[in-house]
Amino acid sequence: MLLIPCPWCGPRDETEFSYGGEADVPYPGDPAAADDATWAGYLFMRANSEGPLHERWHHAAGCRRWFVARRDTLTSEFLT
Amino acid sequence: MSPSEERSQHPRRLWRHPEPKASYDVVIVGGGGHGLATAYYLARNHGITNVAVVERGWLAGGNVARNTAVIRSNYLWDESAAIYEHSLKLWETLAAELDYDLLFSQRGVMNLAHSLGDVREGQRRVNANRLNGIDAEWLTPDDIARVCPIVNLAGDIRHPVVGATFQPRGGIAKHDHVAWGYARAADALGVDLIEGAEVTGFEREGDRVTGVVTSRGRIGAGRVAIVVAGHASVVAALAGIRLPLQSRPLQALVSELLEPVHPCVVLSNAVHVYVSQAHKGELVMGAGVDGHIGYGQRGSFHVIEDQLVAAVELFPIFARAHVLRTWAGIVDVSPDASPILGLTPIRRLYLNCGWGTGGFKATPASGWVLAHTVANDEPHELSRPFGLERFTTGALIDEHGAAAVAH
Amino acid sequence: MTGAVAARHSPLEGVAAAFAEVATVTDRTVSLAELPFLAQINLRADPADAPLLARLGAALGVDLPTIPNTAAAGPRGDRYVLWLGPDEWLVIDRAGTEASLEGRLRTALRGGRGSVVDVSANRTTIRLAGPAARAVLEHGCSIDLHPRAFGPGRCAQTLLARAGVILISVSAEPEYRILVRPSFAAYLATWLLDAVDGAT
Amino acid sequence: MIDTPTPTPTRRLPDGGDWIDRTRPLTFVFDGRTLTGFQGDTVASALLANGIDRVATSTYDRRPRGVMTAGMEEPNALVQVDWPGGASEPMLRATQVELVEGLRAASLAGKGRLSLAPGSNDPGRFDRRHVHADVLVIGAGAAGLAAARATAAETRLIVIDDGPAITAPDLTTRLETRLLARTTALGVYDHGYVTAVERRPNARTEGRLWHIRAGRIVLATGATERPIAFANGDRPGIMLASAAGAYLRRFAVRPGERAVIFANNDTTSAVADDLAAAGIALIETVDWRRNEVVVDTLADASGRLAGVVIAKIASDGAVDPATLRTVAADLLLVSGGWNPNVALWSQARGSLRFDERLAGFVPDRPFGPVEAVGACAGDVAGIGELLPLWVVPPAPVAGRPASDDDWAEHYLDLQRDATVRDLRRALGAGLTSIEHLKRYTTIGTAADQGKTSGVLASAIAAALLGQDVGAVGVPTYRPPYVPVSFAQLAGRDRGALIDPVRTTPIHPWHAANGAVFEDVGQWKRPRYFPGDGESMDAAVLRECRAAREGVAAMDASTLGKIDLQGPDAGPFLDRLYTNAFGRLAIGSCRYGLMCRADGMVFDDGVTSRLAEDRFHMTTTTGNAAAVLDWLEEWLQTEWPELHVRATSVTEQWATVAVVGPRSRDVLHTLAPDLALEPEAFPFMTWRDAVVAGIAGRIFRISFSGELAYEINVPSWSGLALWEAVMTAGAAYGIVPYGTEAMHVLRAEKGYPIVGQETDGTVAPQDLGMGWIVSKTKPFIGSRSHRRPDALRSDRRQLVAVLPSDPDELLPEGAQLVAADARLDAPPVPMLGHVTSSYRSAALGRTFALAMVRAGRERIGETVVAPLVDRTVTATIIEPVLYDPDNLRRDGDGR
């Protein structure tokens, strides 16, 4: 049971959160201009690193804020 | 079965521990079930025996050592049904072929329906399976009581069981025996199984792969296949390939040994549990994948608690069974819950990953089609629909509906 | 409207008797009661707009709390303003005051960024109090409820058993308020009565 | 009913016994024999006290086995316990089960039994509790209590211990300290998370699972004595030396009369004192450090230990035959050294190292807030100079070459009957990894998880491989540390508490009026309202007829509702929905379709403009929360510049749909001042109104094609509104209807249901809803509609299907194939499947909706649905079967 540091509510149990995968994947400014490969990249390609990873979390059962945290996916330690 | 039959029975000889040669015709990265099966079929089906399987840890120590060994082929879409049914057909003769008791038991796999939506999807799957030549039946609660009397069929429970799909030819096998059977057979055909060799890079000439760099030195290779469930993204990244995968923990658990009580395999998508009773007598259970990326081969405890909530609800008789051991594998989950198979942007480099939670049952077919792909430098007909390019064209093979708990 | 008010039904009117018995059977270590029909206004406002927050605070007679998971009590005991998020608050007050509250807040919001929504019927409120009240919650709530972490004036949106709730610590007795959606109220009541049974 | 005890020769000492209360004798049954013990006894101590040494039969070799330990590491004494409460529990460690009056226990052969009367549920009450601590100390021995006492008084301290009591009066008085006896830590997880199970926390509760979040975790879990492998070392009467001491001191039980000690360290000297004090003859101490070993043992007719074969080891490492001798003994106490209990340390990702002095694995590098103290850290009191000894070779048999079979009775894992022979075979087969050896031999996989055999097996394997024990290592330790029952982990989440049932404010009326409910997510929704003895088909036809010809009402309160406020609400909706909302007039409503970024249908609903900067959005019942999260995700993470705020009002409003040509009359009765003529209150508009004295809002929208009003009032008035509608409607024969009729009515109009016609692979165009997909503005998912696969002409498309036989009801989920398909030659190409299928009152026949490959090109084609028991022929037609020109939405023009 991960203890996830919500920047607003402080550490809460994993069960209060939903996961958003890799952070900082921007929505293409002009999707229409993207070719199929670029668009597929936006839809499906996300970092899946073993080790430190910038991730999006949503404090779904708490303050309902999305936030970004850095976590080691091997040890599940949250990094600052 | 008698005590001596239940006792672990393995042959007196398994495999050699050769030093890696300078180069091989084919190097298979990953000594798991799929990698070992690929090596075996390369030798058996294509006569390619100058093959090395390089494994960073101990042979068959990844997901094949950690899974719950459920076998079935009742998938919804034609493409999935075709490859999983090919696998099931191979399973049916595999023990004899490998001369190894795989404890393969076709005791039937039941997938419970708890709502009108479940019934609709279940019927859809049964009808599709039958038209694809796959044995599939729809069970009423009375039928369920006959097949598996311990299922809670009370009408007043929170998620009453209103029916089930059933594949009689589905069942279980003993995971280690399967991997070791392939390893032993591949070894006997001349394949070098190299443990403790972690691949740290790929060597290329132009757009063509020429070898792998490992913790036990460089190994030249005419062709290379990446078959590393749980680490596909990590290893593919060494070759500069991005994959649409999320590597997540999938947890499982076993009970102590119990007198026979549970005759088949039961899955429930709605209340998230699947359970069978292995040959020795332990209950083997699993549930859904954890909610986040995790490479630590451990999951979160609440997932275990929730699956036992479901287990006790569906099987009240399990209440006093005990959890002996919990563990987790790492499953590579793809966007459409279907595997990614075939060629890569790098010539002579081949890919087999993204089986998610369905990998074990697919082991024979997976090895079969990958061996074909490596030998012929083109996808096998069964794997063609599962190419990486589908994520660009949008031609996904979405098994989520039928595979919420895809075991 | 009196007719309509008379025809209101609170989500937990059916378990009122069971709640009432709790104090007796637990020898007053726990008491449970529904506080129905409280006025509740969901307020969203741009936290960077200090004048706006000031206007809203003035309209309420209490500053909007900016410390996460704290509740500010109004001049009279029965108004609370709860921090729900960096730009979100919940105003709670006596039953029947929602219309005037909504009006005042909408006026105060004018020209600012945010929203004012009457959610009085969107949740009902359970009062849980007594020496064993914290133990009852600990049977199904994973946040730290120790007075050091969750003393009077603290609030939290979290999970209690399998229901999402807003939890408020209102006194050191301890006394809590549990705000829950009407559709989950019956489930939560059943769970609470069961937890009381195990905790005492 | 328990018989009077059969008198048995007792091995109970006349006095002493720290754990037992001699004033409280208890009666229990073992294998049918009624026996007595004392309060505080374990089943194991009581059996030993009653002279019962054989407590189990081994799983595979069927060998007699006795009590080997006094704790949770017990490999042999596993019993089936029938609790007085009625539950039968398998495979409990007799060394840990505390005796209670009326307990029945039975010996097992390595396998438990599950039994429960059909239709009944386990009677035990198990629960859980979440607590937070600054410091958690696991183990209340000397080291644990010292660590506890070292904390400040205000520290939030939890001390747990497996034993029956924690004696620390000084800690008991600390306000912030909680002492939990009879509590075993199961696992140490990430971020200071520990689970521990407490036995009998109170009279009502059989077990409690503590979920502890600790800032600091001190492992004071001690060490476990380990055996030495020698031939026939598994007989009843052979136990760990420390266990004998424990039975003597805790329970005043003599485990035997004539004892031999076999040791390689000094910890047995205390046991020797205990034996002397109890008057047990210590025949001999066989000390490896004097080159003395136990080679083999002899048994009496019952299989119990009768003699011990002793010898010396020759320089070549083999047993020196010349030194072989046998002594008579009924008790052999073995100490091969001590293994620190590092399982929890290892679970917490702490690393281990092999300590040569201790010849055991000890904590090395910690991970997270975990530290080890005392014996767990390798500080085993009184161990002295230990000389490692793992296995004693078999005595040579004259005239026969050595073979693996000589090691067939060197038992390592007693529960798995795994021997040194198995280990040698595994190595002979070519295995080298300890994980492989474990799997090949099954050592360490039984209920005791190798607590006594694991390190022993590693050391022997290392010797056979010619490697260091440290290099070979031990198999991964996994939770739980001791077995825990399914029921304990399920806790109170049983029956009604397993998953919330959500009900609407109108639910009491539905239940009182005989509704048959359908589970829709967590909601209970009325599916239909049968009259006396009325079938579902009849009820649904009646409900549909009322909606089409008279008036009917449905509880639509479960629909998701979201209040959107802000100047950018319009533009935001334009990006969310496939169609445009920005210029929707205030007072109007519009149906909208949402896609995920992949272009597949996500949700649909009607959204109304309440003001220039305010909208009221509705979602499907199942997606209410998902859509709100979806909105927040885009607003927070992608478009923070948009000034829009979304607030869920799903349960603020109860919604009653009044449907049918007479609905206007019913509403007129309830809101006499409201102008209801189509001109005054047109289709797809809304009005604020007082209905039946309740201030609310009326939406003139229709999911049936009929004249309809959806009345929203605050949910606490929902029941009152419903009752008023039913009363006012009585004059017009109003009928309540459920989800089934609602589905039929919308299907007759060809309206899809998200999640029924769609399955995550269906785009709006596939539903024939291209008309609602803007070509001019971008929206979430629009780009995906231009991917090659989205442009295929043979995508599955929504059509209607009419069975040739108008009484034939196609099952939903039926697959459709070409009329000329060869069904006997699989795989049979499938064209698509039936998504919805109903009997229609309006059409006077059955009909279905289906998703069919290139379906719209197949209008008019005949297809067949091969079913398990029959094959149905049907025709593909346009999906709108009823009132295609929408002439009825204003009523029947009366």
| B neighbour chains, 3+ CB pairs within 8 Å | A, D
Task: Please state at what angle helix D454-465 crosses helix D420-428, rounded to 10 degrees.
Answer: 40
Averaged pLDDT of chain D = 96
Q: Cβ of B318 and D189 within 8 Å?
A: no
Chain segment D233-281, per-residue pLDDT in tens: 999 999 999 999 999 999 999 999 999 999 999 999 999 999 999 999 9
Q: What is the pLDDT of residue B403?
A: 44
Which residue of B233, B234, B295 is the best one to mutate when testing the A interface, meaning the one whose CB has the most A CBs within 10 A? B295
Nearest to B359 by CA among B270, B278, B265, B289: B289
SS3 call for B124: helix
d(CA A72, CA A75): 6
Which residues lie below 8 Å from residue D1, measured CB to CB, with a gap of 6+?
Answer: none
A64 closest CB neighbour out of C68, C69, C85: C85
- D493 contacts chain A (CB < 8 A): no
d(CA C151, CA D285): 62
Q: Contact D118/D144 with Cβ under 8 angstroms?
A: no
At residue C199 the predicted structure's pLDDT band, cuts being 50, 70 and 90, is: confident
Which of residues C74 and D103 earns the better pLDDT score? Answer: D103
At residue D893 the predicted structure's pLDDT band, cuts being 50, 70 and 90, is: low
Chain segment D790-823, per-residue pLDDT in tens: 999 999 999 999 999 999 999 999 999 999 999 9
Q: What is the pLDDT of residue B400?
A: 82
D778 closest CB neighbour out of A11, A32, A65: A32
Q: What amino acid occupies position D52?
A: I
| D neighbour chains, 3+ CB pairs within 8 Å | A, B, C
Q: What is the pLDDT of residue C154?
A: 98
Q: What is the pLDDT of residue B406?
A: 41
Least confident of C2-11, D524-533, D613-622, D698-707: C2-11
- A38 contacts chain B (CB < 8 A): no
Q: What is the pLDDT of residue B401?
A: 65
d(CA D21, CA D16): 10
Whether this model's pTM surpasses 0.90: yes
SS3 call for D112: strand
> What letter does residue A21 receive in the DSSP assignment?
E
Task: Please state at what angle helix C50-60 crosses helix C98-109, rounded to 10 degrees.
Answer: 160
Chain segment D752-794, per-residue pLDDT in tens: 999 999 999 999 999 999 999 999 999 999 999 999 999 999 9
Chain segment B227-243, per-residue pLDDT in tens: 999 999 999 999 999 99
Q: Cβ of A63 and C84 within 8 Å?
A: yes
d(CA C143, CA C151): 13
Q: What is the pLDDT of residue C1?
A: 39
Chain D nearest-CA distance from C13, in A, is 11
Residue D88: other Cβ atoms inside 10 A: 18
Q: What is the pLDDT of residue B2?
A: 60
| C neighbour chains, 3+ CB pairs within 8 Å | A, D
Q: Cβ of C158 and A16 within 8 Å?
A: yes
Using a CB-CB cut-off of 8 Å, the residues of chain D touching A73 are none
Q: Residue A9: closest CA among chain C residues belongs to which residue?
A: C68
Using a CB-CB cut-off of 8 Å, the residues of chain C touching D213 are 142, 144
Over residues B166-193, the mean pLDDT reads 97
Quick check: C77 pLDDT over 90?
no
Q: E strands within chain A?
A: 3-6, 10-13, 18-22, 52-58, 66-72, 78-79
Q: What is the pLDDT of residue D119?
A: 87
Q: What is the pLDDT of residue B405?
A: 38
Q: Alpha-carbon Rg of chain C, whole angstroms? A: 17
D265 class by beta-carbon count within 10 Å (0-12 exposed, 13-18 middle, 19+ buried): buried
**Percent of chain B's residues with pLDDT above 90:** 91
Quick check: D207 pLDDT over 60?
yes
At residue D1 the predicted structure's pLDDT band, cuts being 50, 70 and 90, is: very low
Q: Residue A2: closest CA among chain C residues belongs to which residue?
A: C142
Q: Alpha-carbon Rg of chain A, whole angstroms? A: 15
Q: Residue A61: closest CA among chain C residues belongs to which residue?
A: C158
Bridge partners, B218 (sequence order): B213
Chain segment A28-73, per-residue pLDDT in tens: 989 999 999 999 999 999 999 999 999 999 999 999 999 999 999 9
Q: What is the pLDDT of residue B249?
A: 95
Chain A nearest-CA distance from D141, in A, is 28
d(CA B364, CA B362): 6
Residue B13: other Cβ atoms inside 10 A: 12
d(CA D716, CA C36): 9
Chain segment D285-317, per-residue pLDDT in tens: 999 999 999 999 999 999 999 999 999 999 999
A9 closest CB neighbour out of C68, C159, C164: C68
Chain segment D838-871, per-residue pLDDT in tens: 999 999 999 999 999 999 999 999 999 999 999 9
- D424: its two tokens: 């040698």
SS3 call for B70: strand
Residue A54: other Cβ atoms inside 10 A: 16
Quick check: C4 pLDDT over 50?
no
Q: Alpha-carbon Rg of chain B, whole angstroms? A: 21
Q: Where are the alpha helices (DSSP H) in D279-378?
A: 343-347
Nearest to D133 by CA among D200, D190, D211: D211
Chain segment C117-155, per-residue pLDDT in tens: 999 999 999 999 999 999 999 999 999 999 999 999 999
Q: Where are the alpha helices (DSSP H) in D287-404?
A: 343-347
Chain segment D679-702, per-residue pLDDT in tens: 999 999 999 999 999 999 999 999
Q: Contact D539/D528 with Cβ under 8 angstroms?
A: yes
Q: What is the pLDDT of residue D476?
A: 85
Q: What is the pLDDT of residue B8?
A: 63
Which residue of C115, C137, C143, C160 is the best one to mutate when testing the D interface, meaning the one whose CB has the most D CBs within 10 A? C115
- C141 contacts chain A (CB < 8 A): no
Whose tokens are 């059909």? That residue is D118
Q: How far is CA D285 from CA B275, C73, D257, D381, in A?
A: 50, 76, 15, 20
Question: What is the side-by-side order of every strand in the sheet holding A78-79?
Answer: A18-22, A52-58, A66-72, A78-79
Averaged pLDDT of chain C = 95
> What letter does residue D376 receive in the DSSP assignment?
G
Chain segment C87-125, per-residue pLDDT in tens: 999 999 999 999 999 999 999 999 999 999 999 999 999
Quick check: D894 pLDDT over 60?
no
Q: What is the pLDDT of residue B243?
A: 97
Chain segment D369-416, per-residue pLDDT in tens: 999 999 999 999 999 999 999 999 999 888 888 899 999 999 999 999
Element (H, E) at D846: strand D845-853
Is 0.90 exceeded by the ipTM? Answer: yes
d(CA D864, CA D313): 84
Chain A nearest-CA distance from C47, in A, is 14
Q: What is the pLDDT of residue B272?
A: 85
Q: Cβ of A58 and D787 within 8 Å?
A: no
